[in-house]
Amino acid sequence: MRIAPLGCLLAVALLLAGCGSKKSQPPTTAQWADGVCTAVNTWTTSIKSSISSVTSGNISKDSIQNAGKEMESATETLESDLKGLGKPNTPSGQKAQASIDQLSSDLKTDIDSIKTTLNGVSSISSAVSAASTATSTLATMKNQITSTYTQLQQGDASGELKTAFAQSSSCSKLKSNVSSISP
């Protein structure tokens, strides 16, 4: 008598196990574009907060180095978020993903450079030098983001990405968010 309920329980368990084994679908073009812009907007907010923590009068070796750590953490999150999106479901999806991967790599290199510079701060004069280097690198990062955004819109032969970026509320905020990064 106990065999039947056990058999039913085993059959249900097997059915449920099969339900979760479907491959995840690639994001729609609109989801992908919105995901890119959301990730970059979140990163931008974090970078501005890190800069603000130092420029608001709390300038010390520790505050400068903490800002570098915060920037590094924000960039690692951005990299993870962008990689987690996969490629958009469009004919030029692989090319778009390669552009995002390159941007992610470039930003990581830039933040590592900023963090190394900020960690080397030991005096007021080295803080001034570090600020100059960080400002220059942040300008480079803004240009990389803007360039990649333009490249994504123009590199999609079918125009799907351009339309998706234009229709995303997250993307409409992107340009002003990125341009507002300044130490």
pLDDT of 73-84, one tens digit each? 999 999 999 989
Q: What average pLDDT is seen over the chain?
A: 81
Which range, 107-111, 123-127, 174-178, is most confident?
Answer: 107-111
Q: Are 54 and 81 in contact (CB under 8 A)?
A: no
Q: How far apart are CA 32 and CA 50, in angstroms?
A: 27
- Which has the closest alpha carbon to 65: 18, 116, 101, 107? 116
144-158 pLDDT, tens digit per residue, is 999 999 999 887 777
> Residue 183 pLDDT more than 80?
no
Q: Which residue has the higher pLDDT, 47 or 8?
A: 47
pLDDT: which is higher, 169 or 56: 169
Count Cα neighbours of 29 within 13 Å in the Cβ-side half-sphere. Answer: 20
pLDDT-derived band at 51 (thresholds 50, 70, 90) equals confident
Per-residue pLDDT, averaged over 64-80, amounts to 90
Q: Answer whether residue 40 shows pLDDT above 90.
A: yes
User: Where in the chain are the domains?
Assistant: 23-179
Task: Indicate if the pLDDT at residue 22 is higher than 50.
Answer: no
pLDDT at 135 over 60: yes
Instruction: Indicate the burial class of 96 (C-beta count within 10 angstroms; 0-12, 13-18, 19 or more).
Output: buried
pLDDT of residue 92: 86
Residue 64 has pLDDT above 90, yes or no: no
